A and B are shown apart, each in its own frame.
Chain A
Amino acid sequence: MTQSETPILELRGVTKSFQGVTAVSNLTLAVRPGRVLCLLGENGAGKSTVIKMLTGVERPTSGEMRIDGAVSTFESPRDARDRGIATVYQEVGTLPLMSVARNFVLAAEPQKGRGLFRRLDLETAGRLAVERLKELGISRVTNGSQLVGTMSGGERQALAIARALHFGARLLVLDEPTAALGVRESATVLRLIERVRNSGVAVVFITHNAYHAHSVGDDFVILRRGETLDAFHRGDKQVGEIIELMAGGAELQSLLSQSEKQAMQS
């Protein structure tokens, strides 16, 4: 079982506080290759602090962080990136006024020719981009010179993910990738996450949408005001229970009518 594989990233009893204010306390989680870890919680739950620790922006105040099994921390975001941790942002992941090819290779452009004639290899860039997108199930994009702005929100996410994977990411941090998307686009992104997972990459899927998490998640951590409310695996809980947990259990439960509760349980 994949569960036994060494996690790429592991937090053990990690606490992070800012000037005495605890943002995350006693958090334990593990991100394994080929698995999707869903980090759930409402606004202010501490999700962004966790992302910052996973991507090298912040270091834990106390507790243990393990990278590939060894106790360690990231020196910087760049260090995290170099070790294969990539973050994909929904809003700022791609540049709409540039072509697919140029977006795909940005800051790591393939070159051809030598000396003074060394130049961008846009053909290779375009070919690579189209191939990688196809691998992620995006087949509508066939021409590397197409402007990214003409693509759908889901396709743009795919491009950002494809780019990260192409440049060696083995752990993807997806920050609310479905937040501003419609139903169909969200489905595209969820399929993307599955494909990425199936290719053996580790995924941290940050969301406040329990349905989206439930449909693709393998491991779950629910945060509330910095505390770990619960941690469980696929199949342990129903969507309704997850929603309950996130919102604060009994409080929400008491607000729901009986029929709603039944609907959620089923």
Chain B
Amino acid sequence: MRRLIHRPEAGGAISALLVFAFFAILAGHNGFLSLLGTAYWLDTASELGIIAIPVGMLMIGGEFDLSVGAVVGATSMIVAICSGSYELPGWLGFSLAVVFGAGVGLANGLIVVKTKLPSFIVTLSTMLMVTGSILGVSIGLTGSSSISAIPNDFLGVLVAFKWHEFHISILYWVLFGAAAIYVMERTSFGNWVYATGGNVVTARLAGVPTDRVKVILFILSSLGAVLVGTIETYAFQNGSITLGAQYVFSGIAACVIGGVLLTGGYGSLLGTAFGATTYGIVSLGVFFLGWNADLTELFIGALLLLAVISNNRLRTFALGR
């Protein structure tokens, strides 16, 4: 038991279980437990979860990325302009978005490691620049900031497929989540990420290429946003610059609820998945209860605070002090 509670994902697992039990009991008869209800919160958790995987890795590596939301919106516009306004094949738009996203991540990473400025400020700047530039391009090209995306090739199926209401994003969440957990727990790169976040000087002295680690993490973080941006754009065939704005905070919230330390160096991606699950359950549960939707934010806010407090507790506990 003691060993179990020592694990960084313990807090996230407990909170996911608690909120599930809470809504199952109170809203079970309202359809929360139905197939549709389950699909609803799983879809929400999966989209947030995909964002939160690389964001969690980055946070464990000791940095933040506030530009993910902007990259989701930018991806949405790129994919929509290509497929909707110019009738180019979907894969081309997606490839462009991948290149764009990787470029933003690379820029974030290089600026952070070269200037040694806090990533909080650097990615806040790139967030504004990404949104501003894509908006400018979009209005220049199409006169609009919200454009229809037309699925015209296999990409439409790859990102928009659903079974009942279970969206294919759930599958990606599981696949990428499992791959990322493997990387973090069972590869040298994962070890370097933990070390870089734990203490960048120690890691560098030990021979870890900390700059390269950070740049890679920033690129992954943007690529997660590109995937989610594409999925969400195709789901409603609508490109919007404002898409994904909420992930700036909910992405970090999912990680923290999942046990990732704000200071870096500690946490787990399994915990992050539990964090996203918690968020998905709470943010839909309130509708099944017919409560005021603003309670979602109250709930998440309270959970976040609890998580930060218990993360620090768990950490001191884990260190046996």
Q: Residues of A with Cβ closer than 8 Å to B?
A: 81, 87, 89, 92-98, 102, 105-109, 111, 118-120, 122, 147, 149-150, 163
In the complex, the answer to whether B188 meets A120 with C-beta atoms within 8 Å is: yes
Say if the beta carbon of B140 comes within 8 Å of chain A: no
User: B195 and A149: CB pair below 8 A?
Assistant: no
Considering the complex, give the chain A residue whose CB is closest to the CB of B263: A97
A95 in contact with B318 given A106-B195, A109-B191, A119-B187 (CB within 8 Å): no
CA distance A111 to B261 in the complex (A): 28
B192 touches A95 (CB 8 A): no
B23 sits at the interface (CB 8 A): no
The one of B186, B192, B319 in contact with A119, judged by C-beta atoms closer than 8 angstroms, is B186
Q: List 21 A-B contacts (CB under 8 A).
A: A81-B207, A95-B194, A95-B198, A96-B198, A97-B265, A98-B191, A98-B195, A102-B191, A105-B191, A106-B192, A106-B203, A107-B188, A107-B207, A108-B207, A109-B191, A111-B188, A147-B318, A147-B320, A149-B318, A149-B320, A150-B321
- Within 8 Å of chain A (Cβ to Cβ): is B206? yes
CB–CB B191/A120 < 8 A: yes
Hey, which chain A residues are within 8 Å of B187, CB to CB?
118-120
Interface set, chain B 58-90, CB cutoff 8 A to A: none
- Interface majority SS (helix, strand, loop, mixed), chain B: helix
Provide the bound-state CA to CA distance between A203 and B191, in Å.
29
By the criterion CB–CB under 8 Å, are A149 and B208 in contact? no
> Given the complex of chains A and B, what is the CA–CA distance between A108 and B261 in angstroms?
26
Docked CA distance A81–B265 (Å): 26
Contacts of B190 in A (CB 8 A): 120
Does B242 sit at the interface, judged by CB under 8 A? no
The CA-CA distance from A108 to B186 in the complex, in Å, is 14
B178 to chain A, nearest CB (A): 13
- For A125, give the chain B residue with the smallest CB separation: B191
Within 8 A of A (CB), among B300-321: 315, 318-321
Contact in complex: B194, A92 (CB < 8 Å): no
Q: Which residues of A contact B186 (CB under 8 A)?
A: 119-120, 122
A150 in complex: contacting residue of B194, B202, B261, B320, CB < 8 Å: B320
With A106-B192, A107-B207, A150-B321 already in contact, 16 other A-B pairs whose C-beta atoms are closer than 8 Å: A87-B205, A92-B205, A95-B195, A96-B198, A97-B318, A106-B195, A107-B188, A107-B195, A108-B207, A109-B191, A118-B187, A119-B187, A120-B186, A120-B188, A120-B191, A150-B320
Q: How near does chain B come to A51, taking the closest CB pair, in angstroms? A: 13
Q: Chain B residues near A149 (CB, 8 Å)?
A: 318-321
- Residues of chain A within 8 A (CB-CB) of B202 are 92-95
Which residues on the A side are within 8 Å of B192 (C-beta)?
A: 106-107
For B198, B207, B261, the residue with the greatest tally of chain A CB atoms inside 10 Å of its CB is B198
Total A-B pairs, Cβ < 8 A: 76
Within 8 A of A (CB), among B197-240: 198-199, 201-203, 205-208
Which of A81, A89, A106, A119 makes the CB contact (< 8 A) with B208? A106
C-alpha spacing A254/B321, complex, angstroms: 46
Closest CB pairs A-B (n = 10) = A107-B207, A149-B319, A95-B198, A150-B320, A119-B186, A109-B188, A97-B266, A92-B202, A106-B206, A107-B206
Residues of B within 8 A of A109 (CB): 188, 191
Contacts of B167-203 to chain A: CB distance below 8 A: 182, 185-188, 190-192, 194-195, 198-199, 201-203
Inter-chain CA distance A111–B191, complex, in Å, is 12
Residue of A with least CB distance to B208: A107
Of chain A, the residue at the smallest CB distance from B318 is: A147
Chain B residues with CB below 8 A from A163, complex form? 206
Verify A106–B191 contact, CB threshold 8 A: yes
Contact residues in A for B321 (Cβ distance below 8 Å):
149-150
Residues from chain A with Cβ under 8 Å of B195 in the complex: 95, 98, 102, 106-107
- CA separation between A102 and B190, bound complex, in Å? 10
Contacts of B199 in A (CB 8 A): 92, 95
Q: Within the complex, what minimum Cβ distance (angstroms) separates B266 from chain A?
A: 4
Residue of B186, B206, B320 most packed against chain A (CB within 10 A): B206
Give bound CA distance, A108 to B206, whole Å: 9
Closest to A121 in B: B186
* Bound form: Cα–Cα A7–B222 in Å: 53
Which chain B positions have C-beta within 8 A of A118? 187
- Cβ distance A157 to chain B, nearest Cβ, rounded Å: 13
Residue of A nearest to B319 (CB): A149
Give B195 Cβ to nearest chain A Cβ, in Å: 5
Whole-angstrom CA separation of A85 from B261 in the bound complex: 35
Tell me the bound Cα distance from A106 to B201 in angstroms: 13
- The interface residues of chain B lying within 8 Å CB-to-CB of A105 are 191
When chains A and B are docked, how far (Å) is the Cα of A107 from the Cα of B188? Answer: 7
Least distance between B193 CB and chain A CB atoms (Å): 11
CA distance A93 to B201 in the complex (A): 9
A118 to B192 alpha-carbon distance, docked (Å): 16
Which of A87, A92, A102, A147 contacts B201, CB < 8 Å?
A: A92
Given that A147-B319, A149-B319 are contacting pairs, would A95 and B265 also be in contact in the complex, using a CB cutoff of 8 Å?
yes
With both beta carbons as reference points, the residue of chain A lying nearest to B267 in the complex is identified as A97
With A102-B194, A120-B187 in contact, do A95 and B320 touch (Cβ < 8 Å)?
A: no
Residues of B within 8 A of A81 (CB): 207
With a cutoff of 8 Å between Cβ atoms, the chain A residues found around residue B205 in the complex are: 87, 89, 92
Residue of A nearest to B190 (CB): A120
B60: nearest residue on chain A (CB-CB)? A97
B residues near A120, Cβ cutoff 8 Å: 185-188, 190-191
